[in-house]
Structure 1
Amino acid sequence: MIEAAADITEDAFLGGQLLLKQKRSGHRAGHDAILLAAATQAQAGDRVVDLGAGIGTAGLALARRVAGIRLSLVEIDTELAELARANAAANAIAAEAIVLDVTADAEAFAAHGLVPDSVDVVLMNPPFNDPARHRGSPDQSRHTAHVATGETLHAWVHAARRILRSSGVLTLIWRADAIADVLAALSRGFGSVVILPVHGEAGKPAIRVLVRAVKGGRASTRLLPGLMLNEESIVPKKEVRKILEGRAVLPLAEP
């Protein structure tokens, strides 16, 4: 059951094109989810699965841009899944919200219609903070959304690989300083990897990587020029503002 109205906020994304309700405390949707959506390649008719969807931000942002996708929002937290379902309905977007642990086995996925080799596109923003260096939040939902174990990424990539059809596409966002973990996780079953570093400020190391990979892909790995989020004044650049407002996409989403 969704919490009392006082514990819920309604926030605008994509320049007001998407209005989402989310819990006032705990994990809050932000730029990462919108960048993930803007990096995801999809077309009408595609079956798309957002793993760890939370309140549905990334998947619903993608659906707002690409009409006609068949969207499933997979989330382990029952309250967040209920919010995702409500957000889809409130924004007149056709989507199903599934309460499911991404690390569950194939039988659990199949029980929700997510059988092997059945999905065209998977996007995901897994928990990625290193527990050895990051003090987890006492809020359990926030902790679950942010803190990874040593097996998190491999388990999530495995789930994506299982449900994707041959030549299906996975897009994910992860910590830039752990790009080696991403490449290791993708080394089994994925290829044609394209990486977009995301920098918070000019002259500083990347803070995120957006990665696209193809199940069974054979093309060489490519590293794209980095995306700079802010000017020196800490104001989002015009190009980035267009992306965050849903008026432009990232190179990973282009054919």
Structure 2
Amino acid sequence: MTRAFSSEVGPGSREENASKNESQAAVTEDRFLGGQLRLRQPRTGHRAGHDAILLAAATPARPGDRVVDLGSGVGAAGFAVARRVGGIDLALVEIDAALAALARDNAAANAIAADVIVLDVEADAAAFAAAGLGPDSADVVLMNPPFNDSVRHRASPDAVRERAHVATATTLASWVHVARRVLKSNGRLAMIWRADGIAEVLSALARGFGSLEIIPLHGDVTSPAIRILVQATKGGRAPTRLHAALLLNEESGVPNKWVEEILAGQGGLPLARP
């Protein structure tokens, strides 16, 4: 477990520097939240985008909350939450060591304190506890699990991208189980999933979660929903609430102003209220 801030490293050998240059060429530095967040991420393979920022905008948190981002990649969603809500205690859990290393770099570059933990989200409770994520230890969990259907999704030759995007038959249930274990009573889970898998989401959350709130995301007014943003409370008992749909583009084809404000770090979603 690493508290991610920068450390000074002296000049290396010619071979080390060449390797470093090759590594730097393999990544891009991209701006999110209207430039409030600068993230280095792989040039190819799994890359953060709108899903991560919309997930962050749907994540409720208060200063002092322990916030855990499962399957964090380079940290986009977790860092976006930290930009919106100062003073959170952020932990990023990522199975890929190279992405975790970029997350540490990104934490330092953006002056955001975060525990970056290299760990399989589907690891057992003992492994999580050893990493400082024992049962009933988090106030908020957010996650963007692999959600593409393996039957309908064309396999990617990039193994990292494939692992980040394609769900197995047990992925969702396993990730929700981990969130339930880590969350305190009345802790809240925020997640994003493909819209045609809503039945899977409701089934996975039926054990231990309630007070669901759902926002369907549509490409435009004429298209079926493509994603759902979901918030659930551990032990919650309130009825499920289906919010008005969020359109990425207006009927005229112009980008939705509200979505543009969210992506620029100037707005939030109703699910984000603490």
> Gaps spanning 5+ residues in structure 2: where?
1-18
Could you say which residue in structure 1 is the equivalent of 2:81?
Answer: 62
Are 2:55 and 1:36 aligned? Answer: yes
Q: Deviation of residue 232 (structure 1)?
A: 3.7
| TM-superposed deviation, 1:213 | 0.2
Residue by residue over 1:110-166, the C-alpha shift from the partner in whole angstroms, topping out at 9 and shown as x without a partner, is 010000001000000000000100012110110011000010000000000000000
Indicate the percent of aligned positions where both proteins have the same amino acid.
Answer: 68
Q: Pairwise mapping of residues 34-183 of structure 1 onto structure 2 (< 5 A)?
A: 34-183=53-202
| Whole-angstrom distance in 1 between the partners of 2:39 and 2:252 | 29
Note if 1:26 corresponds to 2:45.
Answer: yes
> CA–CA distance in 2 between the matches of 1:144 and 1:101?
11
Return the alpha-carbon distance in structure 2 between the equivalents of residues 120 and 149 of structure 1: 27
**Aligned AA for 2:116?**
A
d(CA) in 1 for partners of 2:24 and 2:254?
A: 32
Correspondent of 1:188 among 180, 194, 207: 207
Structure 2 counterpart of 1:11, from 3, 22, 30: 30
Q: What SS does the aligned partner of 1:4 have?
A: helix
SS in 1 for 2:191: strand
What is the one-letter code of the residue matched to 2:124?
D
**Take 1:119 and 1:105, find their aligned partners in 2: how far apart are those partners?**
17
Matched with 1:211 is 230
SS in 2 for 1:174: strand
CA distance in 1 between partners of 2:110 and 2:118 (Å): 20
Cα distance, 1:235 vs structure 2: 3.5
How big is the shift at 1:37? 0.2
Q: Counterparts of 2:207 and 2:119 in 1: how far apart (Å)?
A: 24
> Aligned AA for 2:246?
L
Deviations 1:180-217 (A, max 9, x none): 00000000000000010000111111000000000000
> Structure 1: which 5+ runs fail to align?
none
* Deviation, structure 1 residue 233: 4.7
For normalisation by structure 2, the TM-score amounts to 0.91
Give, as a single letter, the amino acid of the residue that structure 2 aligns with 1:31: H
Q: What whole-Å deviation, never above 9, does each CA across 1:163-187 have from its counterpart, x for those lacking one?
A: 0000000000000000000000000
Q: What RMSD in Å do the two structures reach over aligned CA positions?
A: 1.1
The aligned residue for residue 4 of structure 2 is none
Task: State the TM-score, normalizing by the size of structure 1.
Answer: 0.98
Distance 2:105 2:206 in 1: 37
Distance 1:239 1:190 in 2: 29
